[in-house]
Amino acid sequence: LTQERYPVKRLPFSTPSEADLAAFERIIPGRVVTDTEVLAASNVDWLRTVRGCSRVLLRPRTSEEVAHILRYCHERNLAVNPQGGNTGMVGGSVPVFDEIILSTALMNQVISFHSVSGTLVCQAGCILEELSQYVEARGFVMPLDLGAKGSCHIGGNVATNAGGLRFLRYGSLHGTVLGLEVVLADGTVLNCLSTLRKDNTGYDLKQLFIGSEGTLGVITAVSIQCPPKPQAVNVAFLGCPGFAEVLQTFSTCKGLLGEILSAYEFMDAECMWLVRHHLHLTSPVQESPFYVLIETSGSRAEHDAEKLNDFLEQALRSGLVTDGTVATDQMKLKALWALRERISEALSRDGYVYKYDLSLPTDTLYDLVTDLRARLGSQAKRVVGYGHLGDGNLHLNVTSEDFSRSLLDALEPYVYEWTAGQRGSVSAEHGLGFKKKDALHYSKPPAALRLMQQLKASWTPRAS
Ligand code: FAD
Ligand code: MLT
Ligand code: ZN
């Protein structure tokens, strides 16, 4: 699929032989997978838009096994594709050709948790939702949360520098990750698994691996700072008459909710249609052109409720919001979050999805959606906008019945040029992967690209 659709050439890597499989079997007995059904699932991405043809998947349990495998592959000139939960959105989690898939699925042990500092150290293959449950039982939360939590691995999150739904409150993984253990392409183990908050001894090498998407090495363990679990959580789901009101509601809510504001997400009417139609979710508010989801997280329930009510009264009185509902109990909280979190799932049931994940100035963030609707007309089935408005992050998605080359040509480079014109980012949080790697220059100057290439060439000379 990938090779047919994209003009890519296989680099001169070796092809895995029977002798290689036997060597892997000696390193990780019983965990060398060649079963065609398992491989079929691991060769295709979550969106089902790119597919490789790997014939072997390896499931190490320890960093030493990863090091042994990579050393062997380096000597034999075999290409390797690290894979976590395979929920990535840019086609980086699956092979392009016949690369060996190195899965972190069995590297799923918590190594330590410090109950005073909230520092969690774990293997890279731990599933995000399982880590959330683990730390919540101890009075803490993970600093990140995303719709893919049930499958994505913490190593995959770090490798993509995933943003998600708590970014507004807890910031980027560049701040919350305290340390990493990484195995480099030649098998060298880089143990920077620090638990220190402050450490100014030389270059902070771990930062280079956060968001490097497996291009510089395999992350085998993560040390991450978990904040205390908020005592009171409220979610308000509101209808707004226009995008200007979505923005004004954000300003009002920053002013009135202050330190308890923990998420500000938006979705347009088309997104609501998608989750209702494809997933049979029900909207809790009257039909509106836009919807916002506001979450507050604080330490005193009455205090937070009072603040939220003041905000809602003002927003309704001034016409910024036309209808709304609030939840404090777990069931309703989850139901409101599902309307926003499950948009990507609803989109994938609508047809082929062209995904754009852009950082843009918030004032003009929705203009591109309106512009594209006019530009594409009936060529597209749907053009929708949603995302992490509080972080200036638009998810612009276009669907069509099937993949269409002419629709892709109408979208690219137009979307990238439009974004570059606003000095935005062509990948806010999903990374570059296979699909966006050639668009990097729209967001980074030539000197930065050269430095990135030099760095990659010096750390992984065979893959450059
Ligand atoms: P994979 O998909 O398996 O891999 C992703 C990339 O990282 C690949 O390039 C892979 O080679 C590399 N990689 C994986 N593990 C390692 C490792 N241990 N060492 C080195 N490289 C590795 N992203 C957001 O930022 N915010 C969101 O809100 C968000 N929501 C999502 C919702 C849904 C429903 C889905 C399906 C995806 C969403 N994503 C979101 C995309 C996001 O990138 C991933 O969900 C997640 O971070 C990837 O983790 P993973 O374990 O699935 O990695
Ligand atoms: C989200 O915010 O829902 C995710 O990033 C996934 C997507 O963009 O569809
Ligand atoms: Zn997102």
| DSSP secondary structure string for all residues of 68-126 | HHHHHHHHHT--EEEESSS--SSS-SS-SSSPEEEE-TT---EEEE-TTT-EEEEETT-
User: Looking at residues 78-104, what average pLDDT do you find?
Assistant: 98
pLDDT of residue 1: 65
pLDDT of residue 68: 98
Residue 147 has pLDDT above 80, yes or no: yes
Give pLDDT tens digits for 368-387: 999 999 999 999 999 999 99
Protein residue with least CA distance to atom 8, ligand 1: 93
Residue 156 has pLDDT above 90, yes or no: yes
Cα of 166 vs centre of ligand 3, distance in Å, is 10
User: Looking at residues 126-154, what average pLDDT do you find?
Assistant: 98
Percent of the chain scoring above 70 in pLDDT: 99
Protein residue with least CA distance to atom 28, ligand 1: 164
Query: b/e for 425-457, b at 16 or more Cβ within 10 A?
Result: bbbbbbbbbbbbeebeebbeeeeeeeeeeeebe
User: How are beta strands 80-83 and 100-103 bridged, if at all?
Assistant: parallel
Which is more confidently placed, 429 or 460?
A: 429
Cα of 162 vs centre of ligand 1, distance in Å, is 7
The helix/strand/coil state of 167 is: helix
Q: Is the CB of 344 under 6 A from ligand 2?
A: yes
Query: b/e for 342-357, b at 16 or more Cβ within 10 A?
Result: bbbbbbbebbbbbbbb
| Burial class of residue 297 (count of CB atoms within 10 Å of its CB; 0-12, 13-18, 19+) | buried
Q: Which two tokens stand for residue 355?
A: 């995904």
Ligand nearest the Cα of residue 355 is 2
Residue partners of 233: CB distance under 8 A and separation at least 6: 262, 295, 296, 297, 328, 333
Average pLDDT score, the chain: 97
Ligand nearest the Cα of residue 431 is 1
Q: Is the CB of 46 under 6 A from ligand 1?
A: yes
How many Cα atoms occupy the beta-carbon half-sphere of 5 within 13 Å? 17
CA distance 337 to 344: 13
For the CA of 128, the closest atom of ligand 1 is: 51
The helix/strand/coil state of 363 is: helix
pLDDT of residue 336: 98
CA distance 419 to 313: 36
Cα of 395 vs centre of ligand 3, distance in Å, is 7
pTM (predicted TM-score): 0.98
pLDDT of residue 464: 58
Nearest to 452 by CA among 211, 221, 219, 220: 211
User: What is the distance, to the nearest Å, from the Cα of residue 33 to the centroid of all Cα atoms in its chain?
Assistant: 27
Residue whose entry in the numeric block shows the structure tokens 């000095």: 423
pLDDT of residue 462: 77
Cα of 245 vs centre of ligand 1, distance in Å, is 32
Protein residue with least CA distance to atom 7, ligand 2: 344
User: Looking at residues 31-48, what average pLDDT do you find?
Assistant: 97
For the CA of 82, the closest atom of ligand 1 is: 11
Protein residue with least CA distance to atom 2, ligand 2: 387
pLDDT of residue 166: 97
The helix/strand/coil state of 396 is: strand
Give pLDDT tens digits for 390-444: 999 999 999 999 999 999 999 999 999 999 999 999 999 999 999 999 999 999 9
Do residues 292 and 255 make contact, with C-beta atoms less than 8 angstroms apart?
no
Q: Is the CB of 218 under 6 A from ligand 1?
A: yes
Q: Is the CB of 157 under 6 A from ligand 2?
A: no
CA quadruple 166, 169, 175, 177: dihedral, nearest 10: -40
CA distance 222 to 178: 8
Cα of 347 vs centre of ligand 3, distance in Å, is 13
Tell me the torsion sign for CA atoms 132, 212, 267, 379.
negative
Q: Is the CB of 100 under 6 A from ligand 1?
A: no
CA distance 118 to 195: 10
Residue partners of 175: CB distance under 8 A and separation at least 6: none
CA distance 366 to 339: 19
Identify the helix (H) or strand (E) that includes residue 10.
none
Dihedrals φ, ψ of 214, to 5°? 80, 5
Do residues 429 and 162 make contact, with C-beta atoms less than 8 angstroms apart?
yes
Cα of 404 vs centre of ligand 1, distance in Å, is 26
- What residues does 439 pair with on adjacent strands? none
Q: Which of 46, 90, 146 to mutate to test the pocket of ligand 2 (most atoms within 8 A of CB)?
A: 146
Protein residue with least CA distance to atom 6, ligand 2: 344
Give pLDDT tens digits for 73-88: 999 999 999 999 999 9
**Tell me, what amino acid is at 414?**
Y
Q: Is the CB of 219 under 6 A from ligand 1?
A: yes
